[in-house]
Amino acid sequence: MVSSTASDYQWLGWALLTQCSFAGNNFLLSAVDQLVDPDLAADAGISAIFVVWAVTGLLGVGGLGWQAIHGGALAGMGGKLNVLFAFCAGLTNTLGTLILAVALAADPSSAGPITSVLPLNSILVGLLTWVALGEALRLPHIIGLAVAISGPMCMSFADTSGSFSKALALGILTACMFGLSNFLRKVVSRRGASVPSTTVVVFLTVGFSASCAITGCFTQGRGLKGLEEPRLACFSALSGLLWAIGGLCFQLSMKGLAGPASAIANTNSVGVLLLETIFFHPPMKALKLLGMGLSVVGIIILSLASPPKREARNIACADILIEDAAPLPRQSDGTSLVAVLAP
């Protein structure tokens, strides 16, 4: 049986696995960009994203079928509101990914400013879970979160752009989409929905987005432009598999601290840089090395930070968010107890 101390850190392990999976996912997308004809790079990037979505959706269909055979499809969701929250989580994630892909395709030089603000979604998640769910953090968690997200931001500033303001605005919009998606995943987790069922709903939503996007591409005669070479299509499909694995691990990490878990997942750029260095040997810039070091230090701080004490207090917003979830413990006066920190 897992000790209470070990269970308090399980979220950290899942967050690190998320980081590794997303690093592989993004590296394979980067490989597509490196190997495709430069004139087709923008189109290939968008097509690859659609393939990632499609693979994720197929895994969602498979998961739904498996659940139907073993106890009932989505039996662990615990209510229609949980399904709605999970659907919105999947939808906002795909919207964020689409905004990012289209923005980079339109102006590849904007990669630096756009990606520099993406890690800020961790702060948004931390604020939302604090205000809405009462998930407070200790000072070491706050410091670790700040240091961890400063790493990817520093690495992204190694790239320059001629349209900084527009790129920054698109980056903030994308970060908000990702932050809202991660927060909704935390809400569903807090409301008691099972990880497999939540993940299936998110995957099915992503798959629905893929079906709409790919149908539109073939209707317009575009197809999956840029992925005609089989290995590029395979890289995109494998990237989708890794994204799905990362999505499952991330949902498991939501059993713990949402803000720090999001911050650790965002440091996947360190893994991408390491893999690119091994396979493509890009020039190593000082800012990227500094960012890598900051990411590692931030993760170490979060790893060593002691778990916050479990407290309980009444939080009206949290009561609303979990109103039809599993019954909560009650105080002597009959009011519900909502844990301040990780469920």
pLDDT in tens, 139-180: 888 888 888 888 887 877 766 555 666 777 888 899 999 999
CA distance linking residue 86 with residue 91, whole number of Å: 9
Contact 222, 307 (CB under 8 A): no
Question: What 3-state class would DSSP assign to 5?
Answer: helix
Longest dimension (CA), the chain: 69
Contact 147, 301 (CB under 8 A): yes
Mean pLDDT within 67-91: 92
- Sign of the dihedral defined by the CA atoms of residues 323, 324, 330, 335, in that order: positive
Q: Which two tokens stand for residue 123?
A: 């702060």
The single residue listed with the structure tokens 């407070």 is 136
pLDDT (tens digit, 9 = 90+) per residue, 129-139? 988 998 888 88
Mean pLDDT within 109-127: 78
Write the DSSP symbol of residue 284.
Answer: P
Contact 243, 48 (CB under 8 A): no
The single residue listed with the structure tokens 């908000």 is 176
Q: How many helices and strands, by DSSP H and E, does the chain display?
A: 14, 2
Q: Of the candidates 83, 115, 113, 135, which has an alpha carbon nearest to the alpha carbon of residue 259?
A: 135
pLDDT at 336 over 50: no
CA distance linking residue 295 with residue 268, whole number of Å: 9
Could you give the angle at the alpha carbon of 87 between the alpha carbons of 84 and 92, nearest 5°?
120
Residue 330, beta-bridge partner list: 336
pLDDT (tens digit, 9 = 90+) per residue, 215-238? 999 999 999 999 999 999 999 999
- Strand ranges (E), the chain: 312-313, 338-339
pLDDT for res 2: 45
HSE-CB for 53 with a 13 A CA cutoff: 27
In angstroms, the first-to-last Cα distance of the chain is 18
Mean pLDDT of the chain: 83
pLDDT for res 337: 29
Q: Which two tokens stand for residue 37?
A: 């004809």
CA distance linking residue 247 with residue 82, whole number of Å: 17
CA distance linking residue 169 with residue 33, whole number of Å: 24
Q: Does pTM surpass 0.85?
A: no
CA distance linking residue 194 with residue 201, whole number of Å: 11
Write the Ramachandran bin of 71: left for phi over 0, alpha for psi from -120 to 50, otherwise beta.
left
